[in-house]
Amino acid sequence: MLGIIGAMDVEINSIKERITGRTVTTIAGIEFVCGFIENVTVCAAQCSPGKVNAALCTQAMIDHFDIDAVINVGVGCSLNDNVIIKNVVIATDVCEYDVDITALGEPLGFINGLNTIKIKTDPTLSEKLSRAAINFGERIHRGTIASGDTFIAGTELKHRLASQFDAICGEMEGGAVGHVCAANGVAFAVLRCISDGGDENSQLDYPTFKKIAADISTAIIVEYIKTEQNQYSLF
């Protein structure tokens, strides 16, 4: 079964609406909608923004459903001048930029337990998503997506994340989803459509473009699922 997680209703509701033969299960206040899209068994959930919410949702999904892979979908900000609003970013890896145990001698972003800074996404799943995005006519970028519990809306943080982590996109959930999936040995991918520039204009751009960006992300997921029909077994 394919798990699909989005932080906000605008990012996940249109996916939920496409699910047929649906069952709904509520765990820890999160609604998990399972069923079929294009004959592929899926489980979709809205985790709410932030790393803890994303981790809670991902672990519950893995624990309670027969999940083969997880796609974290939604919107994000650009951390690179070549990545512009409505472009698509499919992560090669993710990091948690606000994990800071540098006082103990570890580099910024070092994740104890996984013992890494960057968590690699599943290359096959990410490549299939990239092809689906290209087939849908979108301009894509591959690179690091940086996650933290801050809405990025200033050039200082934006430039720091680009410099320290070589990140091209910022958001608040992908690193946590990747962390949980890696700990459980579950394949994952992170897809973001750019809604704003991560700078002082973000508070204006984000409300304007988030729905457009979310619709693009949803369309790519559906395009990907069409190519994966009958690849996932019913839970």
pLDDT per position as a tens digit, 125-174: 999 999 999 988 889 999 999 999 999 999 999 999 999 999 999 999 99
**Binning pLDDT at 50, 70 and 90, where does residue 230 land?**
very low
38 catalytic residue (yes or no): no
Percent helix, percent strand, percent coil in the chain, to nearest 5: 35, 30, 30
Question: Distance between the two ends of the chain, CA-based, in angstroms?
Answer: 7
- pLDDT at position 222 over 50: yes
Which range has highest mean pLDDT (10-19, 112-121, 224-233)? 112-121
The Cα 115–Cα 141 span in angstroms is 27
166 catalytic residue (yes or no): no
Of the ranges 29-43, 155-169, 194-208, which one carries the lowest mean pLDDT score? 194-208
* Residue 216 structure tokens: 């693009």
The Cα 89–Cα 151 span in angstroms is 18
**Region 84-95: what's the mean pLDDT?**
95
- pLDDT at position 35 over 90: yes
Sign of CA dihedral 74, 78, 80, 84: positive
**Region 190-201: what's the mean pLDDT?**
91
**Binning pLDDT at 50, 70 and 90, where does residue 188 land?**
very high
Helices (H), the chain: 9-17, 51-64, 123-135, 155-165, 174-184, 202-227
- pLDDT at position 224 over 50: yes
- pLDDT at position 210 over 90: no
Mean pLDDT of the chain: 93
Q: What is the pLDDT of residues 48-71, one digit of tens each?
A: 999 999 999 999 999 999 999 999
Active-site pick, 138, 173, 196, 205? 196
The Cα 183–Cα 193 span in angstroms is 26
Q: What pLDDT does 232 receive?
A: 46
Q: Would you say 43 and 32 are in contact if contact means Cβ atoms under 8 Å apart?
A: yes
- Residue 162, classed as helix, strand or coil, is helix
The Cα 47–Cα 171 span in angstroms is 14
The Cα 90–Cα 142 span in angstroms is 5
pTM score, two decimals?
0.94
Q: What pLDDT does 190 receive?
A: 98
- Alpha-carbon 133 to chain mean position: 15
